[in-house]
Chains A and B, each alone.
Chain A
Amino acid sequence: QKEVEQDPGPLSVPEGAIVSLNCTYSNSAFQYFMWYRQYSRKGPELLMYTYSSGNKEDGRFTAQVDKSSKYISLFIRDSQPSDSATYLCAMKDRNTGGFKTIFGAGTRLFVKA
């Protein structure tokens, strides 16, 4: 079993829809949770960075962390065609000094105009 599980999709939605992306994990030591966006043939770009449980909002993006369920989510409101990309969840264990980031496999999102 992988430490981080993420549905690879693809997920196809119409423009303006609310998108929900999710990851589950097994390591209870994870304390830092990130979402990256990766366009084709590019490196990952950090979207959201959260510590422990709770919600964090940034513009059209909201990240949620539920440590009791080992479940994290990213919501995208008013989705745009430019949001079409692969979204990677990622996590870090503070006990390792924060250097080792474990990524999910990524969910491919297509937003249709």
Chain B
Amino acid sequence: DTGVSQDPRHKITKRGQNVTFRCDPISEHNRLYWYRQTLGQGPEFLTYFQNEAQLEKSRLLSDRFSAERPKGSFSTLEIQRTEQGDSAMYLCASSLALRGSDNEQFFGPGTRLTVL
């Protein structure tokens, strides 16, 4: 399968715990995005990477959230001291951007986080 993959698919944790999610983009894609989607809403942009550089972060991304893409390939999203309001689907997407313009984003299946 050459699509975007995410791990784990589901995560249940207790409030206050730290969690980390992984995203593996399509191999030749240079841009990687993280979104959050809550029930009945569309995905909300969190952050994106151009290769290994994190170029933009939404104000939705509080200090408890951190994302990395250390070698410009896979990415991790960590949430520290989780809160019940963090319960959501976390979606990763990747795209191939050439000369500043962006092509379509391909989404992974998401990681569903439940904070008890």
Contacts and interface: CB of A to CB of B under 8 A. Distances in A.
A43 B101 contact: no
A106 B43 CA distance: 9
Nearest to B55: A99
A42 B106 CA distance: 12
Contacts of A43: 4, 91, 93, 107-110
A72 to B, nearest CB: 14
Interface in A13-57: 34, 36, 41-46, 49
Interface of B: 4, 31, 33, 40-45, 48, 55-56, 91, 93, 97, 100-102, 104-110, 112
9 contacts: A41-B109, A43-B93, A45-B107, A88-B42, A92-B102, A100-B48, A101-B33, A105-B40, A106-B40
A81 interface: no
Contacts of A34: 104
A6 B41 CA distance: 10
Given A43-B91, A44-B91, A88-B42, A101 B105 contact: yes
A90 to B, nearest CB: 7
Given A43-B91, A46-B106, A98-B101, A103 B33 contact: no
A106 B45 contact: no
B41 A105 contact: yes
Given A92-B102, A99-B97, 9 more contacts: A8-B40, A43-B93, A43-B110, A88-B43, A97-B102, A99-B33, A99-B56, A100-B56, A103-B43
